[in-house]
Structure 1
């Protein structure tokens, strides 16, 4: 089986090569292309995922619905659909670009760095998530306003009724903490957020676009 590769990019968002995904993350992680996706149901609830506890970066933290890396030459939207199916067993009824140029760098306590050019998407689904335990430890639906408020504290509390898949409070991923305020500025109803123009994507993220 061919090893999965990620797209390396420069500060201007131009592709400058690729590298094996397994070798990218470390103390000197190069800037590379990724994506984040927030999945919503028809009531405007957002699907949260808790990263599997064996993940190299930020194991066991709560975060947005799905993250991943486009393959070299793969359209980002196609990568989002591929990872939604693989990680959560979901098919999006609609998929929209929201934050085309989001980028971040964050460092774990052990020195491992995440450094991504990471466009942010919204997906809407009526499906039931089927988490892949290789990627996702738990999932949880929350109203957007409740989730955004929790992100401001940096910690997602367990359900108020003591039930559900979050038996204890857990931290929220650093990229999610930076993305949510930007999304919140788009308006109170996540299903009505304005869609960004794909032409605003960085050059490396325009693969497959007309």
Structure 2
């Protein structure tokens, strides 16, 4: 984490600079670019992960499949693919991507004051049986990973062990139907700082 740079944003989602990731997450975290990804298998199940217990931000919470921060100049698909490899040891084909919530943003604070403050577009990535069965979670990122039905995902969203962003995202995704049927959103709604 210490060598990564995050993209800082203005209120409209335009890039206004960069900053070191590790040093930027604190009580006054600046607004910055991120993403959330939901892996969906052929049965319509969603991969839910528990963040590693020693992560600096929101350790041990249960959440979506993968999260991350696009590097300066990195497109959304490339950032998602990079993090899926880093966190879960899987590299799905780029053709299985769907942009779901391009305008999602949130602010969440830990008990110790460490804060996330992100413009965080949400994507779905479909994976076939070979990819779904070949996950190799990185223990420094992921404590556990489980394929769950959408009903089980909805149940998790009502529990305190779920991440704040997961609860907010699920509330919006529910209106889109079931994971296999989630429709794509216009790429034009992505923040100006991020290409598809």
**Normalized against structure 2, the TM-score is what?**
0.93
Partner of 1:3: helix, strand, or coil? coil
Structure 1 segment 110-121 matched on structure 2, within 5 A? 110-121=112-123
CA distance in 1, matches of 2:119, 2:156: 25
**Alignment of 1:184 onto 2:174:** yes
Instruction: Count matched residues.
Output: 189
Instruction: Describe the SS at the equivalent of 2:193.
Output: helix
The separation in 1 between residues aligned to 2:174 and 2:75, in whole angstroms, is 26
Alignment root-mean-square deviation, CA: 1.2
Larger radius of gyration: 1
Q: Are residues 1:139 and 2:145 paired?
A: yes
Q: For 1:31 and 1:39, locate their aligned partners in 2 and report how far apart those are by CA, in whole Å.
A: 26
Any gaps of 5 or more consecutive residues in structure 1?
156-170
Partner SS for 2:176? coil
> For each residue in 1:80-126, what CA deviation from the matched residue of structure 2 results, as whole angstroms up to 9, or x when unmatched?
01100110011224111100010000111101111000000001112
> Could you report, residue by residue, the CA deviation over 1:33-78 in whole angstroms, capped at 9, with x for unpaired residues?
0000000110000001100011111101110000000000000111
After TM superposition, what 4+ stretches of structure 1 lie above 3 angstroms from structure 2? none
Higher RCO (Cα < 8 Å, 6 or more apart): 2
The CA deviation string for residues 9-40 of structure 1, in whole angstroms up to 9 with x for no partner, is 01110100000111110000000000000001
* 1:95 aligned onto 2:97: yes
User: In structure 1, the residue corresponding to 2:168 is in which secondary structure?
Assistant: helix
Residues 90, 125 of structure 1: 8 Å contact kept: no
The equivalent residue for 2:164 is: 174
Match 1:196 to one of 175, 181, 185: 185
Query: 1:13-162 maps to which residues of 2 (within 5 A)?
Result: 13-93=13-93, 94-126=96-128, 127=131, 128=133, 129-151=135-157, 153-155=158-160
Distance in 2, Cα, partners of 1:143 & 1:91 = 22
- 5+ residue gaps in structure 2? none
Asked if 2 retains the 8 angstrom alpha-carbon contact of 1:91 and 1:125, the reply is: no
Between the aligned partners of 1:88 and 1:190, the Cα distance in structure 2 is: 20
Residue by residue over 1:113-158, the C-alpha shift from the partner in whole angstroms, topping out at 9 and shown as x without a partner, is: 110000000011121211001100110110012211321x224xxx
